[in-house]
Amino acid sequence: MSGNHQNGKKPKGGGPFKLPDLKPFGGWKFTIVYLLILIVGMSLFNYVFLNRVNPTIDFSEFKARISSGEIKRVELTDSYFTGYTAVRPSVSSRTSVRSSYMGSPEQVYRTVPINDPEFIRLMDEKSVAYRAASREGSVILNIIFSWVLPIAFFIFVWRFVVKRLGNMGGNVLSVGQNRAVIVAEGDIATRFRDVAGVDEAKEELVEVVDFLKNPKKYTEIGGKIPKGVLLVGPPGTGKTLLARAVAGEAGVAFFRMSGADFVEMFVGVGAARVRDLFKQARDKAPCIIFIDELDAIGKSRINNIAGGNDEREQTLNQLLVEMDGFDATSGLIILAATNRPDVLDPALLRPGRFDRQVLVDRPDLKGREEILKIHSKGVKLAVGVELGAVARITSGFSGADLANIVNEAALLAVRAGRKLVEQRDFDEAIEKIVAGLQKKTRVLKPEERRLTAYHEAGHALIAAFTPNADPVQKISIIPRGFALGYTLQMPVEDRFTITQSDLLGRIDILLGGRVAEEMISGEYSTGAANDLTKATDIARKMITDYGMSQRFRNVALTSRGSGMAGGERQEPMFQREYAESTQQYVDEEIARVVEAEYDKTKGILGQRRTILDQVAVALLEKETLDEKEFKAIVNPAAGPAVSEALSGAGYSE
């Protein structure tokens, strides 16, 4: 319904005059400020630039210079008499006169006019050229220089400043206004059916939706809905998508803002934006406020080295005050998302603020398959495509990763000139994301190619003869990314706990490539650098994180409060909470564990040298071996015997 026809009534003519709407310009107050700034600026401009004229001399001295013949020409105005020491040349002789005065620049003298009847007679006697200057040209010039140019100058400067500081809002004086993206009621098309793989999180948020739709059901019994819901989980798991689904299901207005949007270079801007955000939200209640990346403004104040006058701390304090300042029955609910809950201030997580924390974790096997179905709705799939097989291969992938796989598969099908996406497109997309882009033009030397083939064959054989290891799906010596080859293992099912023997088995698989290189060349290469890094990390975590050492059994030596939500720590640790002697023991124990597993792996490959050679030769011929081809080379009858021999092997002190 338009504003001119509300309630079905047409506006009557002859109504009172209405002032123009100045809200887009900040209202009347900001308009008056702009005018004052413009007037002051023009006054300063006129004073600095237009009043810088030649100083005046006494009228008697002016006459004396005329009498002496120094002044040759005079311009008469109401304000000043201006004398020049050179005669204005005519058009025909302008060049010659100019050249004659090249050595002596023209002098200008100004004086305030006095009513002297002898002045004109004196100029006639001395043959001084004089004329009265026209006021029309001077008036126009005065207007141009006094008003037009200053206004144009300030408009240019103003536009330049606004463009430079555009990230702070519509204009410099509106930095205190929040920058939330406001989605009107009913404009959000996302629903819970569009979110998969996080069924437990959806169940927790159903109550929030039900409260926004039927608040009386809760208020009549005396219950209160949580004021704030904190969505915690690794990146790409669908926290923002869940928040949009809640707003879409509830059918209320949705305010979306990032935590980084609150803080600017000016002190106090963040707190002002928080106040403005909550003021607008109260006017539109019931509604949902969603703050993405809450850790940008909600970091703990306990270890704040900068002091108590930090801009982020002021923003956090204002957020805490606003969350305490509204009633739980007002229909205003705050959703926030973060992947670093360990760094949040305890005041944010107490009851009455973010009462409920909802974990949005990486999806399991069933969840990954449902996510793939959702993202492949608009994709033309060929007959025989098994999304379940894709879900099994992508263990540990987030929802964003799975969406990227579907898109990459579609792009690969188009690149190959096919109208439908086939299973091989999904396989290639997974390999592209996991291992990197295929380097078809990279040419390896024969010795490097042979070394790479044995390296990957060593990984695959140790994986085949290691109990509880993921089956080998593909082996390739085609360079991808930074790797010259890769071995792809497919997990049979999701695993949430890993035993000590399984960790040691992973170290064995990583060391298999280095062992195979040593067996055929008698020396080491740099090709196993990444494998050694991963093997060392596993051994270190066994000792420092999992308590799997003899001296510090069942003791965790790592620092607390530095982990990523829903996953392992991703940033390096430079702080330890134990003695130097303990660090020495950790280093020695890591070296001992890796060395023991290396010797064990060397013995396994030594017993299977014939199979190792066969796999390497097959790789050199075909460059890629799939699961069936690899199993055909490996003697299945040898599997149980080796498995029994390895079952008793483990990490023992």
- Residues annotated as catalytic are 456
Query: What are the strands of the beta sheet with 73-76, ordered from one edge?
Result: 108-111, 81-84, 73-76, 129-132
* Complete DSSP assignment for 470-491: PPEEEEE-S-BTTBS-EEEE--
Q: Which two tokens stand for residue 16?
A: 């009172």
CB atoms within 10 A of CB 587: 12
Amino acid at 423: Q
Alpha carbon distance 364, 253 (integer Å): 32
The phi and psi torsions of 205 (rounded to 5 degrees) equal: -90, -10
Does the N-terminal peptide bond of residue 89 adopt cis geometry, omega within 30 degrees of 0? no
Alpha carbon distance 435, 406 (integer Å): 17
* Complete DSSP assignment for 36-94: HHHHHHHHHHIIIIIS--PPB--HHHHHHHHHTT---EEEE-SS-EEEESSPPPPSTTH
User: Could you tell me how far CA 216 lies from the centroid of its own chain?
Assistant: 40
Where do the H-state alpha helices sit in 465-579?
500-521, 529-544
Go through the chain and tell me how many residues it has. 653
Bridge partners, 624 (sequence order): 476
User: Could you tell me how far CA 163 lies from the centroid of its own chain?
Assistant: 21
Give the strand pairing for 253-258 and 129-132. Answer: unpaired
In whole angstroms, how far apart are CA 113 and each of 5, 66, 255? 68, 14, 71
Dihedral of alpha carbons 412, 417, 420, 422, sign = negative
Alpha carbon distance 197, 378 (integer Å): 19
Q: Are 333 and 170 in contact (CB under 8 A)?
A: no
Query: Which are the contacts of 8, defined by CB distance < 8 A and separation ≥ 6?
Result: none
Site of tokens 């075909």: 622
Site of tokens 């005050």: 321
Q: Which two tokens stand for residue 336?
A: 């926030």
* Complete DSSP assignment for 148-202: IHHHHHHHHHHHHHHHHTGGG-SSGGGTTS---EEE-TT-----GGG--S-HHHH
Alpha carbon distance 258, 277 (integer Å): 12
Q: Which of 574, 599, 591 is nearest to 649 (CA)?
A: 599
The phi and psi torsions of 108 (rounded to 5 degrees) equal: -125, 130
Q: Are 163 and 343 in contact (CB under 8 A)?
A: no
Q: Are 230 and 354 in contact (CB under 8 A)?
A: yes
* Complete DSSP assignment for 279-301: HHHHHT-SEEEEEESGGGT-B-S
Alpha carbon distance 533, 489 (integer Å): 19
Query: Which are the contacts of 569, defined by CB distance < 8 A and separation ≥ 6?
Result: 562, 563
Where do the H-state alpha helices sit in 263-416?
269-283, 311-324, 346-349, 365-375, 387-393, 399-415
Give the strand pairing for 73-76 and 129-132. Answer: parallel
For residues 562-571, one letter each, b for 16 or more C-beta atoms within 10 angstroms of the residue's C-beta and e for the rest, the string is ebbbbbeeee
